Amino acid sequence: MGPGRGRSGAPRVCNFRERPLTDTTAIAKLIEPAVKALGLDLVRVAMIGGKSDPTLQVMAERPDTRQLTIDDCADLSRAISEILDPLEEAGKDVIEGAYRLEVSSPGIDRPLTRRGDYADWAGHEARIKFIEPVDTAKQVSGIIEGIDGDLVRITTPKGERTADFTNIASAKLLLTDKLIHATAPLSTEGVDTIKTEG
């Protein structure tokens, strides 16, 4: 069991296990029903840590608090094991190579991975990286204005820009006083404070 940080803005790391590496999209599809059954929302399944410390990160939250308790972490870790272990035992590994399993909550400077995130966090600052450049920009930082269908709107120092949700490679909130106030009583420990303008 990894270290927990209580009601912290930094992600709560709940569990580590040695596992082989696989397609995160496939894992997300496998585990999301179990995540929902626990009353949680799946935020992201991603590989982090690079080659030196490959880690499968399963990020989830309670929709009402946007956090995880220690019990939530333990329950979700068990649920993931109950799904993946039988596949491995049957020789149907969905993974390849060794990696660590980490269950965590999003923290304050959370990733924006779902369409609804751009509605829920409208009015807050974010950094968005694109798959294909938008108006020659590979990334932008600015205030989220919302989402209309698949069209994300963000106001930058250069004016309002729009981007198709499917063209977003990654996005995350940026630490501001407004965000700290909105997410209180979360702390700012461990958050990314870097802002970049594309």
Burial of 2 (0-12, 13-18, 19+ CB in 10 A): middle
3-state secondary structure of 155: strand
Q: Which two tokens stand for residue 61?
A: 């939250």
Structural domain boundaries enclosing 134:
115-183
The Cα 127–Cα 112 span in angstroms is: 10
Same domain, 63 and 90: yes
50-99, pLDDT tens digit by residue? 778 878 789 999 998 888 889 999 999 999 888 988 887 787 776 666 77
Same domain, 119 and 75: no
In a domain, 13, yes or no: no
In a domain, 31, yes or no: yes
Average pLDDT of the segment spanning 17-26 = 64
Q: What is the pLDDT of residue 17?
A: 54
In a domain, 65, yes or no: yes
Same domain, 122 and 95: no
Same domain, 129 and 175: yes
In total, how many domains does the chain have? 2
Q: What is the pLDDT of residue 89?
A: 78
Domain boundary among 81, 104, 127: 104
The Cα 56–Cα 58 span in angstroms is: 7
